[in-house]
Amino acid sequence: MEGIREIIAIILMSGGFFFLTVGVVGLIRLPDVYNRLHALGKCDTMGVGLIILGLVLIVPGTTNVVKLLLMGALTVVINPVITHIITKTAYVRGTSLAEGSFVVSTYYEEEEGDFFKGEEGE
Amino acid sequence: MLETFMIFLALGLGVLGLVSLYRAFKGPTATDRVAAMNMIVTMVVAYTLIFTYLSETYFYLDIALVFILAAFIATICILKLLREGSLF
Q: Could you read off the pLDDT of A30-76 as tens digits, one per residue? A: 888 888 888 888 888 899 999 999 999 888 889 989 999 999 999 99
Q: What is the ipTM, given to two decimal places?
A: 0.88
pLDDT at A105 over 70: no
Give A-chain residues touching B82 at CB under 8 angstroms: 89, 93
The mean pLDDT value of chain A amounts to 82
Q: Residue ranges per domain, chain A?
A: 2-120
Would you state the pLDDT for residue A115?
A: 41
What percent of chain A shows pLDDT beyond 70?
84
pLDDT at B26 over 50: yes
A10 and B22 within 8 Å at the Cβ level: the answer is: no
* pTM, to two decimals: 0.84
**Span B24-34, average pLDDT:** 87
Where residue A108 falls among pLDDT bands split at 50, 70, 90?
low
Which of B35, B53, B69 comes nearest A36 by C-beta? B35
Would you state the pLDDT for residue B72?
A: 92
Residue of A nearest to B20 (CA): A24
Would you state the pLDDT for residue B23?
A: 87
Which of B29, B62, B64 comes nearest A95 by C-beta? B29
Distance CA B77, CA A35 (A): 23
Q: How many residues does chain B have?
A: 88
Phi, psi of A100 (to 5 degrees): 90, 0
Q: Directed axis angle between helix B30-55 and helix B60-84, to 10°?
A: 180
pLDDT at A113 over 60: no
> Cβ(A27)–Cβ(A48) under 8 Å?
no
Interface test with A, best of B4, B38, B57, B77 (most A CBs within 10 A): B38
Would you state the pLDDT for residue A110?
A: 54
Question: 3-state DSSP: chain A helix, strand, coil percent, rounded to 5?
Answer: 75, 0, 25
